[in-house]
């Protein structure tokens, strides 16, 4: 996990946006984005909702040659 950005919500929830790297079975790396909603529960924070999205386009919109073949 890297690049964690935490924002407070008006309803008492907190949103955490982060990036992650995943090592695939074939040895390649993939990038994902986590969007978590957290709520306070029993004196701590618990994830109440998580959305994991694959990063299909590299940052900046650049494409690698032959990427369509992967």
Taking only the tens place, the pLDDT of each residue in 1-13 is 778 899 997 788 9
- The pLDDT of residue 70 is 47
- The pLDDT of residue 66 is 54
Q: How far apart are CA 29 and CA 49, in angstroms?
A: 25
Dihedral (CA of 59, 21, 4, 47) sign: positive
The H or E element containing residue 15 is strand 14-23
DSSP 62: -
Taking residues 53-65, what's their average pLDDT? 65
The reported pTM is 0.66
Segment 12-48, tens digit of pLDDT? 899 999 998 888 898 888 889 999 999 988 889 999 9
Tell me phi and psi for residue 60, to 5 degrees.
Answer: 85, -5
- The pLDDT of residue 28 is 84
């Amino acid at each position: 996990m890297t690049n964690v950005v935490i924002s407070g919500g008006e309803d008492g929830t907190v949103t955490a946006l982060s990036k992650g790297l995943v090592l695939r079975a074939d040895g390649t790396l993939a990038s994902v984005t986590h969007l978590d909603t957290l709520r306070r529960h029993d004196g701590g924070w618990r994830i109440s909702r998580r959305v994991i999205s694959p990063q299909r386009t590299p940052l900046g919109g650049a494409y690698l040659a032959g990427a369509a073949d992967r």
